[in-house]
Amino acid sequence: MSYDFQGTASVITASRHLGTPSDERLNESVEIRMTSSGKPTIARLNFDTPLDWPGHPNFVTVNLPDGSSVSGVIVEIERPVDAPGWVAFTVDD
């Protein structure tokens, strides 16, 4: 299944670690470009403006305008505080 999307979406960045409360940050109305490839599926989410991140993020959810969502465990991340960035994550499909 393809998870390609370009436009405005909400992105939840999260730190979910066993034995500690989940720390989630909602980033509303973010301009994104998301592409996916491979099996297992890896999605890459590019964002033009910095996102709000919890400490030690390991999970991301993208809520699309059609009501669907794509989420998974972070495998790579580039999150500058003052520039565009990206995150790659696994997708359970």
- Domains of the chain: residue spans and CATH: 5-90 (2.40.10)
pLDDT-flagged residues of the chain (< 50):
none
| Residue-level pLDDT at 11 | 98
Q: Report pTM.
A: 0.93
| Residue-level pLDDT at 93 | 72
| Residue-level pLDDT at 8 | 97
Q: How many whole angstroms separate alpha carbon 21 and alpha carbon 37?
A: 32
| Residue-level pLDDT at 47 | 97
| Residue-level pLDDT at 1 | 74
How large is the C-alpha radius of gyration of the chain?
A: 12
Give the other-Cβ count within 10 Å of 61's Cβ.
17
Tokens 């720390």, located at residue: 23
* DSSP string computed for 29-58: EEEEEEEEETTTEEEEEEESSPPP--SS--
| Residue-level pLDDT at 81 | 87
